[in-house]
Amino acid sequence: MSRRFRAFYIGALAVIGVGLLATSFVPKAHADGWNKMTVVTVQQPIIAGNKVLDPGTYVWKLMDSPSDRHIVQIYDKDQRHLETTILAIPNYRLQPADHVQFAFWETPAGVPKAVRAWFYPGDNFGQEFPYPKKLVDQLASAAPAPQPAAYTEPEPQPQPEVQPAPVPEPEPQPTAAAQPEVPQPSTTTQPVPVQPEPAALPHTASVSPMVGLLGAACLSLAGLLSLVTQTTKNI
């Protein structure tokens, strides 16, 4: 009786153990199908939404929201830190794949690749991320200009010395015999003779006639006065 009980007890424990083991896998499988959880390992920086993910391991999944199935959340590998949340839009395709696929936007040189779409295995639709124009412009303005791997700084070349321009030789002038002589106007001035002024008038007569005239005038005046005196008395 004890052997039968022991066998039944062992069998029951085995069935219970298998049942517990099966039930432990059901939530994980359901969670993967519901939230599309995917473990992603990147070897170089990428842009997801408005976040630059450094090289490492991340967990991608959909937010547990039955009304909106296009909200993507990215956690660190331990799912303790939320890196970013992205509002995506549906991206449909005709042929589903049996593995995870990513599509990328084209970015300028020196800027990390930007994730465009994420496709979960077996789905004919994925999550498309908008182009992070603002973040790409910031990274492009801060990125150094790309240079080729074999680029070497060119050595300075010596500057050629500037030679002075040659002085033109004077043209030969024609000889005096070949040119006719042209009479040149004379510039000498002739002096104008100046007549000197006379120093004094020449004396052409004497003072004797003048004395005679003065005497005659005095006699005439005396006769006139005497005539006037007599006439006054007779009146």
Find out whether 117 and 131 touch, Cβ atoms under 8 Å: no
pLDDT tier at 23, thresholds 50, 70, 90: very low
* The overall pTM is greater than 0.75: no
Question: Tokens 């490492």 identify what position?
Answer: 56
25 pLDDT higher than 50: no
Q: What is the mean pLDDT of residues 133-153?
A: 74
pLDDT at 32: 64
C-alpha distances out from residue 149 to 100, 146, 152, 153, Å: 34, 9, 9, 12
Distance between CA atoms of 87 and 103, rounded to whole angstroms?
A: 17
pLDDT at 78: 94
